[in-house]
Amino acid sequence: MQFFSFLTIAVFMVVLQTTIFLGRLDLVYILTAFLAYRAKWVTGGLLIALTGWTLDVVAGIFMGACTIEYLLVFAFLKLLTENSPVKRSVYQIPLTGISYLLVQVIKSVSYSFSIEEPEVVLAWRSIFEESILITVVAIPCLWFFNHIYERINSYTFKTRKFV
């Protein structure tokens, strides 16, 4: 039930990201970070792979780029936060913003090396604006995802005896 609930949320995030926010706000990245913090390796990896693939199909220019990016971010954040002695609520939001900043810098540098005239031109202002925006939007999103996660895990199925 948890898998299908978060798959539905992921599809909704892809729809929001590609229609209303037009790529300006990366909601799937926030979901990727949350799944790295809370989900198991296989479940989270499968959800991220399906979500990245859906985003590639809907709005991808280079097929597979979103999927690979999100899977690498998932693995990095999962390795970084697994068995962490720090309370999860302390590092979730700052780590989401800092990791998004690092990913954007790496993407900009790698893109500048792939063009014909390799000049490392970073749009620092837009990178910082997007990182701050992701960090601010991550607060209610991570709260909502945590709420859904806790509700699903606390739900128990009641069995009835038929006489």
More reliable by pLDDT, 2 or 147? 147
What does pLDDT average to over the chain?
A: 88
Contact 79, 53 (CB under 8 A): no
* CB within 8 Å of 21: residues ≥ 6 apart: 27
Contact 43, 3 (CB under 8 A): yes
Q: Is the pLDDT of residue 46 over 90?
A: yes
Q: Cα separation of 44 and 74, whole Å?
A: 8
pTM: 0.87
Q: Cα separation of 49 and 69, whole Å?
A: 10
Domain ranges of the chain: 1-158
Q: Look at domain 1-158 and name its CATH class.
A: mainly alpha
